Amino acid sequence: MFSFFKSSRPLLSESQQKQLLDAIRLAEQRTSGEIRVFVERRCRYMDAADRAAEIFFSNGMQQTEQRNAVLIYLATQDHQVAIWGDQGIHERLGTDFWRERVQEMVGLF
């Protein structure tokens, strides 16, 4: 569920990781979709949405039966966030939904 580049200092504490995992598990119990979070320090040389798509497809997340997987991407030092929803969920919710969720997240940071 988590992917972190190796670093001398973890991006999230153990308790924060557990809290995030618990929230993901709870959300996944309410849906048939798959949710993953990818956190790294920097998003160099590309837009956060492009990086999220790259991670999404390189991890085979488009292979869910209903095409309803979601990747939440964070680049902490670059202050970037993106959400990539697969075709099935994106067609149902639309671009405005994702844009609003990103704005909500930015507001909470």
In this prediction, residue 56 carries a pLDDT of 95
Amino acid symbol at 107: G
pLDDT of residue 8: 58
Closest by Cα among 97, 104, 99, 52 to 73: 52
CATH 3.10.129.10 given to domain 14-108: no
- DSSP-derived 3-state class of residue 42: coil
Q: Where are the domains of the chain?
A: 14-108
Mean pLDDT by 10 residues, the chain (109 residues): 55 88 92 90 88 95 91 91 93 93 88
Residue type, position 66, single letter: Q
pTM for the full predicted model: 0.83
